[in-house]
Amino acid sequence: MDYHDRHVVVTGGTGALGAAVVAALLEAGAHCHLPYRGAEAGRFAQRGHERVRLVPVERLDDEAALAGLYDAVPRLWASIHVAGGFAFAAVEDTTRALLLAQIEANLLTCYLSCRAAVAALRKAGGGGRIVNVAARHALEWRMGAKMSAYTASKAGVAALTEALAEELAGEGILVNAVAPSIMDTPANRAAMPKADHAAWPKVEEVARTILFLASPDNKVTRGAVVPVYGRV
């Protein structure tokens, strides 16, 4: 997959999966534009790379900040939306505030990033790609017991992906998503030390699937929410 001279925005690019996506994009020759907040940039291994542009954006639900991020991209080819959040809570412990926080972290930020990306892709011309990150729970709702707010928000990401794919197909903008199960990250290992970590999908493996969907090599796949479950 050749990304040379192609510009890609990655939200959540300083996290575990996001960093793996950025590393793969850089290896493929891409220019990466990453929003970040607080001290995230200082912990990001690729912060000094000549093809990495870090942009301070405190909130991904800030439409003006997103517009500034995308307007500064010379010629956008793809936008990959990894940013999100997780909450484990039974329904009796899920307050209105927690529900809204999950919707904002997962669905709202994804929606507004898609919206800003569409404007930038239309400005650039020549089509492009959008890849969202849903979750296994977005496809298998019964797995969402005691995490219903998270499940509902990620199901919204899946529905958004399919609707937007149909809306933009005629413009050559292909929209897809991946739906990971529990990924092999240091945080997940710490939270579940007795799990079979070898069965979990690795972030580098999930990143490769994202890279294909966002690449010029993907000429026909749209409206897909691709399971990336590993062996679990």
CA distances from 90 to 45, 117, 154, 156, 192 (A): 36, 35, 17, 19, 19
Question: Could you tell me the end-to-end alpha-carbon distance of the chain, in angstroms, rounded to an integer?
Answer: 28
In the predicted structure, residue 231 carries a pLDDT above the cut 90: no
pLDDT in the model for residue 39: 85
pLDDT tens track for 12-51: 999 999 999 999 999 999 999 999 998 888 888 889 999 9
Active-site amino acid positions: 150
In the predicted structure, residue 151 carries a pLDDT above the cut 90: yes
CA distances from 59 to 76, 164, 166, 224, 230 (A): 21, 23, 28, 28, 32
pTM score, whole prediction: 0.96
In the predicted structure, residue 121 carries a pLDDT above the cut 90: yes
Using alpha carbons, select from 78, 83, 71, 82 the residue that is nearest to residue 32: 78
pLDDT in the model for residue 219: 97
pLDDT band at 62 (very low <50, low <70, confident <90, very high): very high
Per CATH, which fold does 7-228 belong to? Answer: Rossmann fold (3.40.50)
Q: How far is CA 22 from the centre of its chain?
A: 11
Q: What is the mean pLDDT of the chain?
A: 96
CA angle 57, 77, 152 (to 5 degrees): 60
In the predicted structure, residue 163 carries a pLDDT above the cut 90: yes
pLDDT band at 118 (very low <50, low <70, confident <90, very high): very high
Residues paired with 179 in a beta bridge: 227
Largest CA distance in the chain: 50
Q: Are 51 and 33 in contact (CB under 8 A)?
A: no
pLDDT tens track for 164-184: 999 999 999 999 999 999 999
pLDDT in the model for residue 174: 98
Give residue limits of the domains in the chain: 7-228
The C-alpha atoms of residue 155 and residue 135 are separated, in whole angstroms, by: 8
Strands 31-36 and 7-11: parallel
Residue located via tokens 């990033």: 113
Residue located via tokens 């307050």: 95
pLDDT tens track for 63-73: 999 999 999 99
Q: Are 16 and 187 in contact (CB under 8 A)?
A: yes
Residues paired with 226 in a beta bridge: 178
By CB atoms closer than 10 A (0-12, 13-18, 19+), residue 2 is: exposed
| β-sheet with 128-133: strand ranges across | 52-56, 31-36, 7-11, 76-81, 128-133, 173-180, 225-228
The C-alpha atoms of residue 195 and residue 210 are separated, in whole angstroms, by: 25
